[in-house]
Amino acid sequence: MNLIQQQDKGNWESDTDLLLQLDEWKRLPLLYQLALEELQNKIKLIKSELEQQDGYSPIEHIKVRVKEPKSILSKLKRKGFDLTLENMLDHIHDIAGMRIVCAFVKDIYRLVEHFQQRGDIRVLEVKDYIKYPKSNGYQSLHIILAVPLIQLEGTRYIKVEIQMRTLAMDFWASMEHILFYKYDKQVPAHVHIELKEAAEAAYALDQKMLRIQKEILSDSDHTRSKFVPIDGTRN
């Protein structure tokens, strides 16, 4: 039974129970926002370290958002769950969402490995739609994390979904989202094929950029090795 049905039937265990649930509904957006901010700060630090280490930024940009109540309710309905607080907490993993757009696919896997090794956040699930794209061609790596927030009454873990993709994958996903993602009719077969081909083109573009990067790096290593400073040490 959902919140509205319970209220209509006066079916609450007590008024206190109702007030507690309403308080929780009111507090949740702030908690999700704070969890995103915590995570964003951790990632800013990693980004600057990687920039120093690699000489380029493997993280192109980061976006965060807290899902609108309307989208949460329609996702619960889409998944066939009653509209309850419990179902929302248990089954909607992307209320707090972060998107990290990376330069290369290898940067995505490097970040995932890093998240898995950290002791201050917990990795709950990894969904690899890069290795196993969705049938429409969608590619991205999703990771569900539990981010701790220290509150007066103790530590509370808040779920955050991070979607990681390259610039090419992000272009495809953004266009597909605009065109079809919530399109409620059957996508015509020929359009489905074209969409998949576009996703494969995005993947091919990523591979090509990676090859170009490798070539440029090996070329600059080669050039650098030709210049030996007067004291005989290498720069």
Catalytic positions, written as ranges = 161
Residues of this chain, 90-109, that bind ligand 0O2 according to CB under 6 A: 93-94
Count of positions on this chain that bind ligand 0O2 (CB under 6 A): 14
Going by C-alpha positions, the residue among 54, 165, 43, 60 that lies closest to residue 108 is: 165
Nearer to ligand 0O2, 50 or 100 (CB): 100
| Nearest approach, Cβ of residue 135 and ligand 0O2 (Å) | 9
The full length of the chain comes to 235
Q: Is 196 in the site for ligand 0O2 (CB under 6 A)?
A: no
| Nearest approach, Cβ of residue 27 and ligand 0O2 (Å) | 22
Nearer to ligand 0O2, 12 or 192 (CB): 192
Where does this chain touch ligand 0O2 (CB under 6 A) — which range of 38-46, 114-122, 134-142, 194-202?
A: 134-142
Going by C-alpha positions, the residue among 67, 32, 66 that lies closest to residue 156 is: 32
Q: Which two tokens stand for residue 218?
A: 């090996």
- What are the DSSP E strand ranges found in 86-175? 96-102, 122-128, 141-151, 154-166
Provide the edge-to-edge strand list for the sheet that holds 59-66: 59-66, 96-102, 154-166, 141-151, 122-128
Contact yes or no for 77/91 (Cβ under 8 A): no
Residues of this chain, 60-79, that bind ligand 0O2 according to CB under 6 A: 71, 75
Contact yes or no for 155/148 (Cβ under 8 A): yes
| Nearest approach, Cβ of residue 173 and ligand 0O2 (Å) | 4
Among 106, 110, 127, 192, binds ligand 0O2 (CB under 6 A): 127
Query: What is the rounded distance in angstroms from the CA atom of residue 2 to the CA atom of residue 168?
Result: 41
Q: Is 142 in the site for ligand 0O2 (CB under 6 A)?
A: yes
Among 44, 77, 134, 208, binds ligand 0O2 (CB under 6 A): 134
- Judged on CB neighbours under 10 Å (0-12, 13-18, 19+), 200 is middle
Identify the sign of the CA torsion 81, 87, 89, 91. Answer: negative
One symbol per residue from 157 to 186: x for binding ligand 0O2 (CB under 6 A), - otherwise; what is it? ------x---------x--xx---x-----
Nearer to ligand 0O2, 63 or 177 (CB): 177
Residues engaged in binding ligand 0O2 (CB under 6 A): 71, 75, 93-94, 127, 134, 136, 138, 142, 163, 173, 176-177, 181
